[in-house]
Structure 1
Amino acid sequence: MNVLEEWTALACRELGVDPDRVDRAAVLDLTKDVAHGVARPAAPLTAYLLGLAQGAGTAPADALERLSRMARDWEKATAETLEDS
């Protein structure tokens, strides 16, 4: 077991989360997309917001992919917004 797997298992146990419900690779991909496409501090905040939405039952099933796509398109979207101003 590597450190990331061990940490995830311990954190899940502490929080009462089923570790089989955690798609670690998808969350890491999301935070990578956000950190590189938007801003580094936005990565953990986005992961937290996704967790809140999922915990509240309000996150759509494809929320991870939608957020990743938004992050990858961030520069283009903000450039278009500035052009419309």
Structure 2
Amino acid sequence: MKSQDETLEDWCRALLQAFELEDVEVDVDEVLALAGVAAHSVVRPAAPLTTFIAGFAAGMASGSGQAPDSVSMQAAMGVARALAMDYAAADSAAAAQQPDSGPAVSSGNPGA
């Protein structure tokens, strides 16, 4: 039985082959790390969305000749990682600025 890492590597190769991108190097661990940052800094469903958009941006940059594949991928993942971390920091700062209303006070009327 293959390990998870072996399965992911095989799957990555199969995807690259299906899209005729056999010469593209993908750092699976780096992509998964970005997904983890997005999932924990934003919300869990942000992980696949973030990795998809970062990959799309890298492809656009590479395809237009702005930068080689590896540079485009690293740049796109770096932007996405920084944005996710900034999002979490801004969200935490906003929550800290919310006044604490304290415990809820009952009116004594159970129907109210």
Q: What TM-score does the superposition give when structure 2 sets the normalisation length? A: 0.61
Q: What TM-score does the superposition give when structure 1 sets the normalisation length? A: 0.77
Indicate if the aligned counterparts of 1:35 and 1:43 stay in contact, CA closer than 8 A: yes
Larger deviation, residues 70-79 vs 27-36:
70-79
Indicate if the aligned counterparts of 2:54 and 2:73 stay in contact, CA closer than 8 A: no
Larger deviation, residues 64-73 vs 74-83:
74-83
How far 1:32 moved relative to its partner? 0.6
- Residues 61 and 11 (structure 1), Cα distance of their counterparts in 2 relative to 1, 3 Å cut: closer
Structure with greater helix share of residues: 1
**Aligned mate of 2:35, from 31, 34, 38:** 31
Which residue number in structure 2 is paired with residue 69 of structure 1? 82
How far 1:76 moved relative to its partner? 1.6
3-state secondary structure, aligned to 2:21: coil
Identity %: 30
Once residues 83 and 40 of structure 2 are traced to their aligned partners in structure 1, the CA distance between those partners, rounded to angstroms, is 12
Task: Give unpaired runs (5+ residues) of structure 1.
Answer: none
How many corresponding residue pairs? 83
Work out whether 1:6 is the aligned partner of 2:19.
Answer: no
Which residue number in structure 2 is paired with residue 18 of structure 1? 22
Task: Give unpaired runs (5+ residues) of structure 2.
Answer: 67-71, 98-112
Once residues 75 and 4 of structure 1 are traced to their aligned partners in structure 2, the CA distance between those partners, rounded to angstroms, is 28
